[in-house]
Structure formats: C-alpha cells, structure tokens
Amino acid sequence: MDGAALARKVRAAVAGEVAELGHVGLATVLVGEDPASQVYIGLKHKAATEAGFEPTDHRLPASTSQSELLRLVEELNGDEGVDGLLVQLPLPDHIDEGVVLRAIEPVKDVDGVHPMNAGFLALGTPTIVPATPRGCIALLDEYGVELEGARTVVIGRSNIVGKPVAQLLVQRNATVTICHSRTRDLAAHLREADVVVAAVGRPRLVKAEMVKPGAAVIDVGVNRTDDGLVGDVDPGVAEVAGLLSPVPGGVGPMTIAMLLQNTVEAARLRRNGGYPGSTP
C-alpha cells in the first residue's frame, strides 16, 4: 500500500480547500531538542507550507516549566489566526502531558488528543480524529479492503494509535480484537485476521508465519535500528499478505496528510461556530 502516493492526493485536495478558505493557521509547539521530534515537526511544517497553510513554529527549551508551556497554549487558544494547535509529544518528564493536552482548545486540537475529541470518537460521533488512525483507515479504503464484518486485529492500545484505530474499525462494522503486551498467543489471534494493524514499537514483531494468507497488514511501527528505520512487521510478511503498508512510505506520510486534513476541518468547524451544542 503506497502511503506516499495517497498522501500526495490528500495533500493536493487539502491545498484546494486552503485556497478556498483563504487562511488556515497551524501552530506547533516543540519543547526540548528530541531529534525525532525535530524531524517530525520539520516534516509537518514543510507539508503545511506546501499546502498553503500559515504555520507558526514555537520552540521552547527543555527547561520550560509546565506553567510557561500552559501560558503559550492559552495564548494560541485565544489567537484568532490559529485554526490548529499541536503540542509535539513526548514532553520532558517534568511536564504532565495530560494537563497540557487538556488545556488545548478542543476545536483546535488537530491531533485529536483532547478528552473531548477522544470521547466523541468513543461515542461513535467522531469530531477530530488522531491523524495516524485516520491514515490507516484511509489506506485500507484506498485499496478497497472490505471492513464490514472483517476480522481485524489491532496490536497496541495506546491513546494515540491503538485505541482510536480500533474504534474507527468498529464504526466500520469490523470485528475487532485488541492485542497488547499481556496478550497470550498473539500469533493465534493474528492467524485469524483479515486485517492487521500493528502499532507496537517492536522491530519486525509480526512474522510471515503469524499472518493469514491474503490479509491486509498496516504497519504503523517506527523503530530506529542498526539496519535503519524498520516497522513492526517483518518484510517477509509481504510474501503472505495480500496488501502491506511499508515502512517508510506507508502510514508515515499518511499521518502528515491527515494532520493537514484535520487542520482544514478544524478551521471549518470553528468558522461554523464549533461543535453543535457546545461552546468551544
């Protein structure tokens, strides 16, 4: 599954929407100098600029206090020129991530991490959905993978990938099993699955002999190893699976494209007065 190609299509469509809206502002906040986070923020800014957004890049030293960070979030919440606001994770240990994410105005929360947006998703009425799970579903749709009634296994139960992707699959009437570090006999679950989403962070955990022939396999994992960047799925799985999203070039580019899509949708939501029945 070619995530780079689909991401190009999504980004072109987003650029059209940005031109229609006139101005779309995306503010990113990075605390500290984590090299991977710097790369991610750089990629997001490049894509945002190419799509016609007006991104603003807030970089704070690792020594920034929680209250200083919260003050910046408040300022950006109140900034009329900012449609989307994302705080890059992970934050330094002395900052409580939950407190910071809850401080983001829900209607600007383009990472979909605020409890209000996570709650809407859990209720089956999604508003702003985390970009990576959205990207996984978009890839499956692009390649015509039938989700209705499909047996799917999601490996990983994080709030940012595993849980939301499982919720999106349930909404699409898939039958979903969520596996995690305490799952007994992961392979037995995988061998039954028509669709697998691996979001673990363990290099090449999923092997060919664990996968049902013809299954669609989405590899979310990003693992830096001595062999370079590898996913959670062993490349040998390509011999057995019907479809496989590669790392790199699969979910990664889709995450960025969906972040831009989320930002355009957040801009429209806010211009239309926010969530129905609420006052964000």
Is 2 part of the annotated catalytic residue set? no
Does residue 90 have a cis bond before it (omega within 30 degrees)? yes
Is residue 177 at the binding interface for ligand NAP, with CB under 6 A as the rule?
no
Residues 242 and 64: beta-carbon distance below 8 Å: no
Is residue 3 at the binding interface for ligand NAP, with CB under 6 A as the rule?
no
Find the residue with minimal CB distance to ligand NAP.
158
Nearer to ligand NAP, 128 or 222 (CB): 222
Candidate residues 7, 87, 104, 161; the one interacting with ligand NAP per rule CB under 6 A: 161
Binding mask 16-55 for ligand NAP (x = CB under 6 A): ----------------------------------------
In terms of Cα–Cα distance, which of 270, 238, 279, 277 is closest to 110?
270
In terms of Cα–Cα distance, which of 91, 142, 93 is closest to 103?
91
Is residue 66 at the binding interface for ligand NAP, with CB under 6 A as the rule?
no
Restricted to residues 136-155, the positions that interact with ligand NAP (CB under 6 A) are 155
Number of residues in contact with ligand NAP under rule CB under 6 A: 26
Is 88 part of the annotated catalytic residue set? yes
Is 66 part of the annotated catalytic residue set? no
Binding mask 210-239 for ligand NAP (x = CB under 6 A): ----------xxxx----------------
Candidate residues 92, 122, 183, 280; the one interacting with ligand NAP per rule CB under 6 A: 183
Catalytic residue among 83, 108, 109, 111: 111
Residues 177 and 198: beta-carbon distance below 8 Å: no
Is residue 193 at the binding interface for ligand NAP, with CB under 6 A as the rule?
no
CB 160 → ligand NAP: shortest distance, Å? 5
In terms of Cα–Cα distance, which of 238, 241, 132 is closest to 191?
241
* Residue 69 Cα to chain centre, angstroms: 23
Restricted to residues 83-142, the positions that interact with ligand NAP (CB under 6 A) are 132
CB 146 → ligand NAP: shortest distance, Å? 24
Does residue 213 have a cis bond before it (omega within 30 degrees)? no
Is residue 188 at the binding interface for ligand NAP, with CB under 6 A as the rule?
no
Residues 23 and 51: beta-carbon distance below 8 Å: no
Beta bridge partners of 57: 28
SS3 (DSSP) at 218: strand
Is residue 246 at the binding interface for ligand NAP, with CB under 6 A as the rule?
no
Handedness of CA 211, 214, 215, 221 (dihedral sign): positive
Pairing of strands 228-230, 223-225: antiparallel
Is residue 180 at the binding interface for ligand NAP, with CB under 6 A as the rule?
yes
Q: How would you list the strands of the sheet with 54-60, edge to edge?
A: 54-60, 25-31, 84-87
Cβ neighbours, 10 Å, residue 222: 19
Q: Which residues bind ligand NAP (CB under 6 A)?
A: 132, 155-158, 160-162, 179-183, 186, 199-202, 205, 220-223, 251-252, 255
Residues classed as catalytic: 44, 88, 111
